[in-house]
Structure 1
């Protein structure tokens, strides 16, 4: 279907225009705030031609479109123009505080990414021209180009103010005015001179800080403005609203922001920057490997937006980023490497076409088509890309590779790693090539469904040789069965990881559900993967978000490569510790190579109590 038809289908299956509270898009996803989640036909949206995936994440409905997202969003805008009535109540289900935080950050930054990435790319081009001797960094041409490239970052509070006003549903002109107050020349000059450190205003002390290039001060200020303006509208008569509401809003918001909120935002940004700097100073290779390997999962969940404030705080203080952009770069190129390997290895012509079309945007940093259309769909290439990203991340962490401008983390971003007099650019090339090559080779080596048509029966000497049936899959835990679709984590609930069930555990031990080999463990010991002798791959994940416990309360009893029998204890965990941290006990048990089989059937009923090692929970149909 064309873009218009796809937009019409999406709006219809969302529940109509009346169910949309707010809409925007990022590089590959349509994003919606929805009033009634129950009215959204998520499965039907996922099945639409042109849709790579759909999920509720971080308080948003995210629909992954890919490279055509801007064109589809344009049609959505035309179909909904003047019909969306924003309300304070977004269905009454705003999620936990982290969901709300991610929703706010993504809602503020995605509308202004075009300006940020375009300016960042121009800085990279300028760096190349200077290194090649084409352009002098003291020439007037360079000064003009630098002004064009740097204006976005210097005056970032203005862009964020406008975007935040739309997110918080307040007056954009007042929000931009508030940004202007923060960056007023008198305040900026005092901050730069250092002679006047503060000003007194009706009993308040206003610190003289520079808020150029900052993020959190203006976001917090516009948030306060939204509440002040809303309250002012309630107390001012309608006939006088246009006069007195702006006056009250600025007179109340600006002093409070200058005296308290903006300095607090600066302080929070400083702590974020210090945390990431310390992390890489203390454990650079380990932190780089973990973040580089896990970055695809972080991107899938949309949690990468949580790093934006810290990234801009680092740019503001040091002029570079060592966390989000560098590790996203190696992860994205690893996705490209795995996708290219699938193109060469698969014999399925449709998958070959999809892989090639997804490989090109992945090179340039747009990885959702590769993730949802190729690697995650085939599972093992996704694991290979994580390994490649971890290798590249370890190299970046070891040599503390720096990105000097914000742009989309693809091959075009490499010039933003040029630093005169250092090997930063060479280390960046080394890390990127390593992640690409390792992911490519690992994908070529790992076995996955390549699309061959194989004969199930081979006749030799009048004897029929049939494929060995998969072994029965017994329960690895004692507890109560739940439908996987009820999982609090949308990635598991949507079936992206694989088909299976959930269990609410009643004791503290996980045992082997079949005879096979341990293939995967985690540093925090909250999850484990096994491979049966008949080719069934299973992932047992204890609780949701239990990675945040950092291994506390978990003890792994086996290692990768160990052979296990039915009932072999794999790991133990502290149920009370999970409850104390208010984390869900819901434990997904999924077949990660589900696409390799005709079907995976759940053989127990929801809410039924089962015993570890006794009841069969899943049947794999080959």
Structure 2
């Protein structure tokens, strides 16, 4: 489907444009705040052509698109234009405080990353040109380029103000005016001179003279306060006078409070964030680097990396460099690229090879979502390999205190921002990147894992001799699908008891039909009063549990009906039970149906015959092959 069709489908499956309270995008994802998360059909969105994945994360609903995200967002924005309202009643109440904090920070910084990364990359290019004697640092050309690259960071409060105003649903022009007050030349001049530490307002309010250039926390906190002042001002000012007196009251109340209390508090928090992380890396650099580098993929996936943005900008503003978020993200991203290349080289499955190739190139340049969601996390062990590579690169960066001197997307193009004349900083940056890349690549090549070609894996499982002296024969038992629907890996089951394999190995199916059929010739061994599950044993001795949905025992049989009883002999294709999917969905229970071989230890292996996302028809395709 084209971008318009995809956008319309996403909005429709999200419960319509009326359910969307805010929408924006980052490099690869559409991001939404919604009024009611229960209206979202996440499984339907995941199946859309052009969608790589969908998830709730950090208080947001995220749809992973990839390189077309900006074009799809433009279509989504046109569809939702005019429907997003400011009424507090539309705001979602879901998520804990930490999720809401991450949501706020990401919602503020994501829309302005283009200016930040573009300016940061230009600073890196300038560093290369100066280092190669192709640009004179004293020339007028350098002066203009320096202004272009530094303006974004110097006037960062203005960018943050407008973005924060959209996030907090307040007037953007007033937010910009508040940023201008913080950066008013006379205030900044007094702060830089250091001769006047504070001034008095109205004879009693002490206002510190600080330089707020390049800062982010003061203006974020200031705009947050302003959103409440503006809201309550609208309640007390007559509507006919709103356009005149609401802006007046908002600025007169907010600005002095921000200058006297909020902005100094933001500076204080930012300073101590920067000091904490600098101290951490000074005391335990290699350990902290290995830990952060290894865990960075998980931090990014959960959206927690946005929590480090204020500290990063505080460090860049005060010290002129960052030693944590950007450097460790760089080694983690290149480790992800290495693991993806390992999959590309190793797999024989054509579809996975295509996905790995298309994800590898963006990962080199710091865009890792296609690699994470399409390749490494899907295959699991390559994801662990990428974490190992990130840990090795992070340890090197922590040991040698590798610094970046500007904000840029953490990929190969960011390496010039590590150039520091007279030091080996750039050298160690390259060593760390290469180490993380090759560790991710080599570990992926060495560790055996499912390559995404289920048929090949099945064939290997059936033909490769198993070195166990107790085995005298190699025989397989096929289990037909008892349901029609979409195949799911058991490890993705929301119920940890099934996902962990404690009950036994197997597979999952999200049903699109309403009946369960016998998957082989055998006998019914177990039924339940709630009629939500059934146990069978095949004539070959395979004991099977079919559990329709999760937590459906709570329905106490509503919507379920047996056609057999315990002890009945069945033939494959016989109807076993029926269920009403609407009843399960209305009760907000998962339709994920585990199909488990409960006597797994009696067999050499239980091999899924189909892969995640495949569609299956009851009685037509095998879903499990039991090897004895």
TM bracket (short chain):
0.7 to 0.9
Looking at structure 1, the residues matched to 489 and 315 of structure 2 have their Cα atoms a distance apart, in angstroms, of 37
1:602-613 aligned at under 5 Å gives the runs 606=551
- CA shift, 1:603, in A, is 9.8
Is 1:502 matched up with 2:511? no
Looking at structure 1, the residues matched to 553 and 164 of structure 2 have their Cα atoms a distance apart, in angstroms, of 47
- CA shift, 1:467, in A, is 6.0
1:461-476 aligned at under 5 Å gives the runs 465-466=474-475
Is 1:441 matched up with 2:442? yes
- CA shift, 1:78, in A, is 1.5
Change (3 A) 1:218 1:617: farther
Note if contact 1:14-1:40 (Cα within 8 Å) is conserved in structure 2.
yes
Change (3 A) 1:395 1:603: farther
Looking at structure 1, the residues matched to 113 and 450 of structure 2 have their Cα atoms a distance apart, in angstroms, of 37
Change (3 A) 1:29 1:601: farther
Note if contact 1:22-1:33 (Cα within 8 Å) is conserved in structure 2.
yes
Change (3 A) 1:535 1:90: closer
Looking at structure 2, the residues matched to 459 and 145 of structure 1 have their Cα atoms a distance apart, in angstroms, of 63
1:418-497 aligned at under 5 Å gives the runs 418-450=419-451, 451=453, 453=456, 454-455=458-459, 457-458=462-463, 465-466=474-475
1:289-304 aligned at under 5 Å gives the runs 289-304=290-305
- CA shift, 1:90, in A, is 3.9
Is 1:180 matched up with 2:180? yes
1:24-103 aligned at under 5 Å gives the runs 24-103=24-103
Q: Which residue number in structure 1 is paired with residue 193 of structure 2? A: 193
Q: Which residue number in structure 1 is paired with residue 516 of structure 2? A: none
Q: Which residue number in structure 2 is paired with residue 133 of structure 1? A: 133
Change (3 A) 1:497 1:325: farther
- CA shift, 1:8, in A, is 0.7
Change (3 A) 1:62 1:92: closer
Change (3 A) 1:49 1:207: same
Q: Deviation string for 1:482-540 (max 9, x for gaps)?
A: xxxxxxxxxxxx98963362369xxxxxx9959xxxxxxxxxxxxxxxxx9x999xxxx
Looking at structure 1, the residues matched to 142 and 239 of structure 2 have their Cα atoms a distance apart, in angstroms, of 52
Q: Which residue number in structure 1 is paired with residue 14 of structure 2? A: 14
Is 1:331 matched up with 2:325? no
Is 1:400 matched up with 2:394? no
* 3-state SS, counterpart of residue 111 of structure 1: helix
Q: Which residue number in structure 1 is paired with residue 249 of structure 2? A: 248
- CA shift, 1:93, in A, is 1.5
Note if contact 1:604-1:616 (Cα within 8 Å) is conserved in structure 2.
no
- CA shift, 1:94, in A, is 3.9
1:593-604 aligned at under 5 Å gives the runs none
- CA shift, 1:282, in A, is 1.2
1:171-570 aligned at under 5 Å gives the runs 171-202=171-202, 203-450=204-451, 451=453, 453=456, 454-455=458-459, 457-458=462-463, 465-466=474-475, 498-499=492-493, 501-502=495-496
Unaligned segments of structure 1, at least 5 residues: 470-493, 505-510, 515-531, 537-598, 610-614
Looking at structure 2, the residues matched to 251 and 67 of structure 1 have their Cα atoms a distance apart, in angstroms, of 45
Looking at structure 2, the residues matched to 30 and 444 of structure 1 have their Cα atoms a distance apart, in angstroms, of 33
Looking at structure 1, the residues matched to 330 and 311 of structure 2 have their Cα atoms a distance apart, in angstroms, of 17
- CA shift, 1:602, in A, is 6.0
Unaligned segments of structure 2, at least 5 residues: 466-471, 479-487, 508-543, 555-595, 601-605, 607-623
Looking at structure 2, the residues matched to 28 and 88 of structure 1 have their Cα atoms a distance apart, in angstroms, of 29
- CA shift, 1:604, in A, is 11
Note if contact 1:153-1:213 (Cα within 8 Å) is conserved in structure 2.
yes
- CA shift, 1:37, in A, is 0.6
* 3-state SS, counterpart of residue 420 of structure 1: coil
Q: Which residue number in structure 1 is paired with residue 144 of structure 2? A: 144
Change (3 A) 1:496 1:457: closer
Q: How high is the TM-score relative to the length of structure 2?
A: 0.76
* 3-state SS, counterpart of residue 447 of structure 1: coil
Q: Which residue number in structure 1 is paired with residue 109 of structure 2? A: 109
Looking at structure 2, the residues matched to 382 and 618 of structure 1 have their Cα atoms a distance apart, in angstroms, of 30
Looking at structure 2, the residues matched to 605 and 24 of structure 1 have their Cα atoms a distance apart, in angstroms, of 34
Looking at structure 2, the residues matched to 129 and 374 of structure 1 have their Cα atoms a distance apart, in angstroms, of 37
Change (3 A) 1:257 1:373: same
- CA shift, 1:363, in A, is 0.4
1:153-168 aligned at under 5 Å gives the runs 153-168=153-168
- CA shift, 1:28, in A, is 0.8
Looking at structure 1, the residues matched to 28 and 474 of structure 2 have their Cα atoms a distance apart, in angstroms, of 48
Note if contact 2:23-2:32 (Cα within 8 Å) is conserved in structure 1.
yes
- CA shift, 1:84, in A, is 2.1
- CA shift, 1:279, in A, is 1.1
Looking at structure 2, the residues matched to 496 and 128 of structure 1 have their Cα atoms a distance apart, in angstroms, of 50
Note if contact 2:290-2:392 (Cα within 8 Å) is conserved in structure 1.
yes
Note if contact 1:500-1:602 (Cα within 8 Å) is conserved in structure 2.
no
- CA shift, 1:262, in A, is 0.2
Looking at structure 2, the residues matched to 128 and 373 of structure 1 have their Cα atoms a distance apart, in angstroms, of 34
Greater shift in the superposed pair: 81-90 or 112-121: 81-90
Looking at structure 1, the residues matched to 334 and 207 of structure 2 have their Cα atoms a distance apart, in angstroms, of 46
Note if contact 2:124-2:406 (Cα within 8 Å) is conserved in structure 1.
yes
Note if contact 1:33-1:90 (Cα within 8 Å) is conserved in structure 2.
no
- CA shift, 1:388, in A, is 0.6
* 3-state SS, counterpart of residue 32 of structure 2: strand
Looking at structure 1, the residues matched to 304 and 187 of structure 2 have their Cα atoms a distance apart, in angstroms, of 35
